[in-house]
Amino acid sequence: MSTLLLLRHGLTELTGPVLAGRTPGVHLDERGREQADRVAERLAGIALDAIVSSPLERCRETAQAVAAGRGLEIHSDERFIECGYGEWTGRKLAELAKEPLWQVVQAHPSAVVFPGGEALATVQHRAVQAVRDWNERLGEKATYLVCSHGDVIKAIVADAMGIHLDQFQRVTADPASVTIIRYTPIRPFLLKLNETGNIALPEQGSADKDGGENITGSDAAVGGGAGTT
């Protein structure tokens, strides 16, 4: 039963007003660095078998704060990179909201292909496949962290919950929030969503004979949303 912690990167100067996308050189700002330090403290009591990150700077910087003192290298995986927003990259969200495609992103994201960019369905496919590969690579007892982006995390959560990609806008992933999914042989369990407070892993329940597990115990349309400062 692999346990995945999905961490969204901390704030940057572009988070919220501008769709940063894959723009190079976008680093955590002072608020984001403080968030990264705080989330590292919140996760300090959880033993991690691996830390994986989107290759973009803001994710790697957030992951580095968590990795500090753990003796773990950060694995870069392109499949967790931000959605390729193409011609939308670098534009203001207020401006993009006037585009006809914006309403499609809201109501029918599974049909969206960003001009000169990537389809949201492709984002979900590559990210979910990456999770499955890491689950297999690390083994069923592993607990690992992936630092990624709002829309990528929302797409993984939608898959874990068994809901259509068209419903992924109902999921929230704030900056520096942690979402926890436990993968069993038969189905995933969403243990925590958009957690910004103290974090503790629920103990693993016993797997039943069918492979299940007994467990006790408005976001922006693209870019994942600015969250709170």
Residues labelled as active-site residues: 9, 149
Which H/E stretch holds residue 137?
Answer: helix 120-138
Pairing of strands 178-183, 188-195: antiparallel
Buried b (16+ CB within 10 A) or exposed e, 38-69: ebbebbeebebebbbbbebbbbbbbbbbbbee
Which of 144, 197, 150, 198 has its CA nearest to residue 171?
150
Give every CB contact of residue 77 below 8 A, 6+ residues apart in sequence: 52, 53, 54, 55, 130, 134, 146
